[in-house]
């Protein structure tokens, strides 16, 4: 795709999300034309003044060809929502990322996937439940999607790998880093048979605001979401909320009525 470097370049500019990418695509013949457009033409495309100012300020600091070179050096590929390899189910959600960054590989098998989410402070019961359920799913060639976080996420990824299955980790930062850092080796293992994916360009560091947003990708790429131990305000709860809004299946593992970790799932 000749325009790929301009998609990647635009993805590095704050304020340019789904709606504004659609405005640019709808007005300009190509993203290359949008990248070279004047402030007048950007406003004519529908961008507000603040966004136009931001685009003009950032364009001079971004070299599209260098962005592709950085991706190649990092072993990361970029898929736009116009690419055939972009996950079909993800295109269906209200706000799919215009550019999806991938380290590893996405395959047609991943159309059969389940997001497995839960608390970072998993109990022994939660760990046993997620390992049992994830092993069964992975053995039936269901791809396991999770967020590489401590606790339930880590257990889900690790169990899927041990069962010889595929797993995808959705990250809330650029793919040139791993958070939490103790999961660096696990991330490497995931890329060998599955993938790390993110909507964030290289160099983007973990930010508290990014974590709730990335949960929509976890539920959006999956047939359904399995919640194992989740508090009412947890990230897992956000994933469930997105799954319901996206009209996806939700499965919750019940727990003890006395366990704070099971308040959300119960």
Tens of pLDDT, residue by residue over 190-237, are 999 999 999 999 998 888 888 888 999 999 999 999 999 987 777 788
Q: What residue ranges define each of the domains in the chain, with the CATH number in brackets? A: 1-74 (no CATH), 104-262 (3.40.50.450)
pTM summary value: 0.94
pLDDT of amino acid 93: 95
Question: pLDDT at position 202, please?
Answer: 94
pLDDT at 61: 93
Q: For residue range 34-53, what is the model confidence (pLDDT) as tens digits?
A: 999 999 999 999 999 999 99
Q: What is the pLDDT of residues 17-40, one digit of tens each?
A: 899 999 999 999 999 999 999 999
DSSP the chain: -TTHHHHHHHHTSTT--HHHHHHHHHHSSSHHHHHT--HHHHHHTT--HHHHHHHHHHHTT--HHHHHHHHHHHT-EEEETTSTTS-HHHHTSSS--SEEEEEE---GGGGSEEEEEE-SS--HHHHHHHHHHHHHHHHTTPEEEE---TTHHHHHHHHHHHTT--EEEE-SS-TTS-SSGGGHHHHHHHHHHSEEEESSPTTPPP-TTHHHHHHHHHHHTSSEEEEES--TTSHHHHHHHHHHHTT-EEEEE---TT-GGGTTT-
Assign 1 a pLDDT band (cuts: 50, 70, 90): low
């Amino acid at each position: 795709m000749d325009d790929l470097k301009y998609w990647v370049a635009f993805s590095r500019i704050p304020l340019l999300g789904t709606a504004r990418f659609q405005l640019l695509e709808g007005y300009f013949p190509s993203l290359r034309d949008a990248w070279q457009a004047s402030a007048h033409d950007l406003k004519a495309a529908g961008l507000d003044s603040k966004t136009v100012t931001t685009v003009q300020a950032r364009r001079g600091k971004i070299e599209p060809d260098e962005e592709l070179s950085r991706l190649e050096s990092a072993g990361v590929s970029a898929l736009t929502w116009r690419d055939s390899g972009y996950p079909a189910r993800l295109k269906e959600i209200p706000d799919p990322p215009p550019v999806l960054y991938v380290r590893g590989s996405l395959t047609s098998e991943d159309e059969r996937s389940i997001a497995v989410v839960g608390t970072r402070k998993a109990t022994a019961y939660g760990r046993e439940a997620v390992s049992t359920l994830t092993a069964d799913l992975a053995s039936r060639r269901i791809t396991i999607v999770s967020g590489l976080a401590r606790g339930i996420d880590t257990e889900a990824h690790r169990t899927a790998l041990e069962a010889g299955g595929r797993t995808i980790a959705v990250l809330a930062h650029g793919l040139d880093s791993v958070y939490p850092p103790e999961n660096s080796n696990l991330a490497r293992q995931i890329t060998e048979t599955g993938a790390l994916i993110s909507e964030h360009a290289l160099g983007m560091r973990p930010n508290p605001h990014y974590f709730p947003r990335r949960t929509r990708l976890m539920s959006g790429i999956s047939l359904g979401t399995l919640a194992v131990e989740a508090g009412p305000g947890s990230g897992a709860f956000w994933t469930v909320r997105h799954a319901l809004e996206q009209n996806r299946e939700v499965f919750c593992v019940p727990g003890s009525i006395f366990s704070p970790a099971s308040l959300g799932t119960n």
